[in-house]
Structure 1
């Protein structure tokens, strides 16, 4: 090989090395960007999972409260019906009928 050929080959090798170095730098930056994006998404996911767990716990608690209130309302309605029936019976059978035109006015 002549010295000219060697110089040409060295120059070509330097160009290839420069291209590879630029490509490597670009890929390193892209890799860092993707790692940051991945970390951000993992943090977001962790936050959302915690929120979901909290919301599910709240839902269970609220459902228990709804059931309790529903039972209480049902019991109150039954008691109210008993009171209304008693009042209806009393108004028809007693002196209260003078003050209450219709028992349904009370219930």
Structure 2
């Protein structure tokens, strides 16, 4: 999958051979934000315009625009692992959130 990024928003992009058209959709939003273009430059411009339109639409409605990721997610794990992580975090002098965040950073590279 090919992706594009603008102002922290990421979009998946595909090429439709039959229509000879690039099209994309912004990922990880509840709202549907799409765009298209016949060339790469057209596609980039359309993507940026779509994001700007989305942000303006949210402002006009008095709503906060949705961020692609909040930095929060729920992970369900075995209670024994939870206890081991909490103990390891305490030994390291860190909160459980900080300890797990650091571990995930190492894994993600």
Same fold, TM-score > 0.5, yes or no: no
**What TM-score, normalized to structure 1?**
0.23
Higher strand share goes to which structure?
A: 2
Highest Rg: 1 or 2?
Answer: 1
**What TM-score, normalized to structure 2?**
0.22
